[in-house]
Amino acid sequence: MKQSFQKAVELIRAGNVVAVPTETVYGLAADAFNITAVKKTFEIKGRPPDNPLIVHISHISQLEMLAEEIPETALKLANAFWPGPLTIVLKKKPIVPDIVTGGLNTVAVRIPDHPLTQKLIEKTGPLTAPSANRSGRPSPTRPEHIREDFGEEIHILDGGNSKIGLESTVLDLSGDHPTILRPGSVSVKMISEVLGFTISPESTDLPLKRKSPGTHYTHYKPAASISWMPSGVREFSPDIYYIFHSEISTPEAAHIHSYQKNFEGLARDLYDHYRTADHLSCSQILIESLPPSENHPLISPLKDRINRSIGS
Ligand code: TXA
Ligand code: MG
């Protein structure tokens, strides 16, 4: 591990990309101030250049290096949720290369909650890190997912399986009102409680430019097609992969999974199921329809990711 960590430090310093663990999903890290390194990230992922990257830092004080204005709301939320799965979008300083922000005048920042990656950032400085999948594929939550997408091409800093399994909440604090651009495990309710006023949930009718550019692209797709399950399914085809969340009893099988209201477990495993369905050559994944978002903080991000992988 010591050797692998040292290699990661050297690769980043030499302007290369390295896959790094975070509590949400694995990231494809590069030196945020090295334009050539950031460019490699876009090329390796096959990512459209107008989809900006999140800059990962290891200490709140590094915000000043990146952001022009740091509103009180940002400090409150950073103190409450960092290190953790909340990304904050602020007006950027000129030092942040345009390639990082896809030409926007804002920068997205977070401190990831993983000791290895925090230690790495302490050695290298701020790192850009999009999810470490090829563009359009499910985000990687385990080292083997990265090998699936990239083979031996990428050095992986192995930090075990991601604890949360869904990407961070993205919150825009660069405008007049805090706006959720991507729901994550830090919920609207949790943010509102810290701020002392209610922020509105993600609005689907925002002008497109206000939304995260990444949300326009197809995401999180395995080869199998994904649909919400019709109610009352009790017969199982070997060609279909089934994911239940409610407390019903189902047969035990590699293609049938039941979470008994454990939404943390479902979030953690979702992208692994997408990939496993492909390995089992299932042509379809059926997911039991989720209850209203108020029931659990993970329901809103789960619905968001699943709907986007359905393409609706
Ligand atoms: O949990 C996560 O956020 C993971 C881990 C590795 O930190 N990273 C991740 O990165 O999911 P990525 O690149 O797959 O998704 C970043 C999202 C995209 O939807 C992107 O458009 C949005 O954040 N984003 C980045 N910078 C932005 C900005 N300046 N303004 C608005 N949205 C931004
Ligand atoms: Mg991604």
Cα(18)–Cα(27) distance, integer angstroms: 8
The pLDDT assigned to 211 comes to 58
What whole-number percentage of the chain has pLDDT above 90? 88
Q: Which ligand is nearest to the CA of 129?
A: 1
**With 80 as the cut, is the pLDDT of residue 125 above it?**
yes
Beta carbon of 168 within 6 Å of any ligand 1 atom = yes
Residue, of 272 and 232, whose pLDDT is higher? 272
**With 80 as the cut, is the pLDDT of residue 90 above it?**
yes
Probe target for ligand 1 pocket from 212, 220, 309, with the most ligand atoms within 8 Å of CB? 212
**With 90 as the cut, is the pLDDT of residue 312 above it?**
no
Beta carbon of 174 within 6 Å of any ligand 1 atom = no
Q: Where is average pLDDT lowest: 37-41, 44-48, 115-119, 210-214?
A: 210-214
Segment 232-247 shows an average pLDDT of: 95
In this prediction, residue 202 has a pLDDT band, given cuts at 50, 70 and 90, of low
In this prediction, residue 69 has a pLDDT band, given cuts at 50, 70 and 90, of confident
The pLDDT assigned to 303 comes to 97
Beta carbon of 124 within 6 Å of any ligand 1 atom = no
**With 60 as the cut, is the pLDDT of residue 204 above it?**
no
The pLDDT assigned to 215 comes to 64
Question: For residue 87, which amino acid is it?
Answer: T
Beta carbon of 250 within 6 Å of any ligand 1 atom = no
Please provide residue 61's backbone torsions phi and psi, each rounded to the nearest 5 degrees: -65, -20
CB neighbour class for 152 (10 Å; exposed up to 12, middle 13-18, buried from 19) = exposed
Q: What are the residues facing 242 on neighbouring strands?
A: 256, 286
Beta carbon of 84 within 6 Å of any ligand 1 atom = no
Q: Which atom of ligand 1 is nearest to the CA of 166?
A: 1
Cβ atoms of 16 and 30 closer than 8 Å: yes
Beta carbon of 55 within 6 Å of any ligand 1 atom = no
The pLDDT assigned to 205 comes to 43
Interior CA angle at 278 toward 159 and 144, to 5°?
15
Distance in Å, CA 227 to ligand 2 centroid: 21
> What separation in angstroms does the CA of 89 have from each of 57, 211, 215, 266?
13, 11, 15, 28
The pLDDT assigned to 127 comes to 98
**With 80 as the cut, is the pLDDT of residue 187 above it?**
yes
In this prediction, residue 257 has a pLDDT band, given cuts at 50, 70 and 90, of very high
Cβ atoms of 154 and 11 closer than 8 Å: no
Residue 178: DSSP 8-state: -
For the whole prediction, is pTM greater than 0.85? yes
The pLDDT assigned to 208 comes to 41
Please provide residue 155's backbone torsions phi and psi, each rounded to the nearest 5 degrees: -75, 130
The pLDDT assigned to 216 comes to 61
Cα(197)–Cα(195) distance, integer angstroms: 6
The pLDDT assigned to 311 comes to 77
The pLDDT assigned to 94 comes to 98
Question: What is the DSSP pairing of strand 54-56 with strand 127-128?
Answer: antiparallel
Distance in Å, CA 212 to ligand 1 centroid: 8
Q: Domains for the chain: give ranges and CATH numbers.
A: 2-209 (3.90.870.10), 225-310 (no CATH)
Beta carbon of 185 within 6 Å of any ligand 1 atom = no
The pLDDT assigned to 200 comes to 82
Q: What is the mean pLDDT of the chain?
A: 94
**With 70 as the cut, is the pLDDT of residue 218 above it?**
no
Structure tokens at 26: 């694995």
Segment 77-105 shows an average pLDDT of: 98
Beta carbon of 214 within 6 Å of any ligand 1 atom = yes
Q: Provide the CB-side half-sphere exposure for 42 (13 A, CA).
A: 19
**With 90 as the cut, is the pLDDT of residue 291 above it?**
yes
CB neighbour class for 230 (10 Å; exposed up to 12, middle 13-18, buried from 19) = exposed
The pLDDT assigned to 203 comes to 52
What whole-number percentage of the chain has pLDDT above 70? 94
**With 50 as the cut, is the pLDDT of residue 207 above it?**
no
